[in-house]
Amino acid sequence: MKLLVKGGTVIDPANKLYQVADIFVSNGKISAVGQDIREIGAEVINAKGKLVMPGLIDMHVHLREPGLEAKETIATGTRAAAMGGFTGVACMPNTKPVVDNRALVEFVKTRAESGGVVNVYPIGAITKCSEGAELAEIGDMKQAGAVAVSDDGHPVMNAQVMRLAMQYARMFDLPVISHCEDLNLVAEGVMHEGYYSTVYGLKGITPAAEEIMVARDIMLAELTGARVHIAHVSTAGSVELIRMAKKKGIKVTAEATPHHFTLTDEAVGGYDTSTKVNPPLRDAVDVRAVKEGLRDGTIDVIATDHAPHTSEEKDVEYNYAPFGMVGLETAVGLAFKELVAPGILSVEELVRKMSCNPARILCLDKGRLDIGADADITIVDPELKETVDVNKFVSKGKNSPFDGWELSGLPVVTIVGGRIVMRDRRLIV
């Protein structure tokens, strides 16, 4: 199959390209990037006025399969990713059973190949069953195709276990993705501890619960020389700790989610359980700090932490609802609204944080529009506006607090390996 993406503004930070150009795709690979390419027999995509970029990669997604298919499946989750403009997702291992061995990594890859529509990169567990006690088979999982290890959803509370995990992961050049949360400080908290938790009558979670573990894992990264990636950074203190670690040359990277740079804890006021996330929505000072961390490069990646739940699970009292919201289908629009439009990030910097940097951290041969590279391409219309309607989400999860928001800067074409999977805001697979 031949494709010709015509007349778009091509943004390829890895190759320092930011200009109107054409991209010719043949046999799933990029064959040419340049001006006035003509190719007889190619399907033409008119990208005039649109932004053409390397395929976006979300390095923090919960696809829920195996075992929790009522919430999401690899088939539905990858289709939601395609709608959101993502050509690849890295899926967390907190499934049922937990992805903590070679067989389960291979299962995820097999299911993705048969039923998925974007690239799926399995993440293996740090510890067996993510219980924090005994290391999982890290080497085996790497050989089977795991791109990182994480106990996301659960912190590794034992510092010695985390130290050993980092030492082993370093042997295989795998990043350790850390869910930073001191469970003793969290206790029974359900939202950020502060003014609004008092007003709303809900138990709070202190920022220190995150920051203490960020500090610990930075120190362990320095001790072991391992690559550590801090998931879903949400507090000003965490941002500052990561900033200082980078100045020291410690191998630490970090991500922030759209909901943590968009919403504050005030949003919990309607007791909409889709605002119940872990870490919780923080106060305005923290939101400003996360945005500044994105602006100055302290935070390397924008990732969604897409966490679908069934309506039955979420339609309960706030205290009893599970943590998490979906994010794949709103991420790009929120990033344009909150970061690009106000001038916090340029479009080029946004592409780095949603394509180039995730690829680099996970050691993927992606995030570039090189000749001969896989034709993973995302096309965004910066002027297109759309009102979020959760009932139209492709994801099984409808748990989003952004229902009814008007967003602009939306993906209009998603191409995976030269195959168009989403076009004009419609799935075609």
For the chain, which residues make up each domain, given as ranges? Answer: 2-52+373-427, 56-361
d(CA 223, CA 212): 17
Residue numbers annotated as active site:
305
Local structure of residue 41 (DSSP, 8 states): T
Is pLDDT of 44 > 90? yes
**pLDDT tens-digit map of 346-405:** 999 999 999 999 999 999 999 999 999 999 999 999 999 999 999 999 999 999 999 999
Handedness of CA 202, 288, 401, 186 (dihedral sign): negative
Distance from CA of residue 123 to its chain's centroid? 13
**pLDDT tens-digit map of 74-107:** 999 999 999 999 999 999 999 999 999 999 999 9
**DSSP H or E segment with residue 150:** strand 149-150
Domain 2-52+373-427, CATH homologous superfamily name and number: Urease, subunit C, domain 1 (2.30.40.10)
Answer yes or no: same fold for 2-52+373-427 and 56-361. Answer: no
**pLDDT tens-digit map of 265-276:** 999 999 999 999
* Residue 39 pLDDT: 85
Q: Which CATH architecture has domain 56-361?
A: Alpha-Beta Barrel (3.20)
d(CA 377, CA 25): 10
Q: How confident is the model at residue 426 (pLDDT cuts 50, 70, 90)?
A: very high
Query: For the whole prediction, is pTM greater than 0.85?
Result: yes
Cβ contacts of 298 within 8 Å, gap of 6 or more: 239, 242, 243, 246, 254, 292
Please give the structure tokens belonging to residue 225: 């020389």
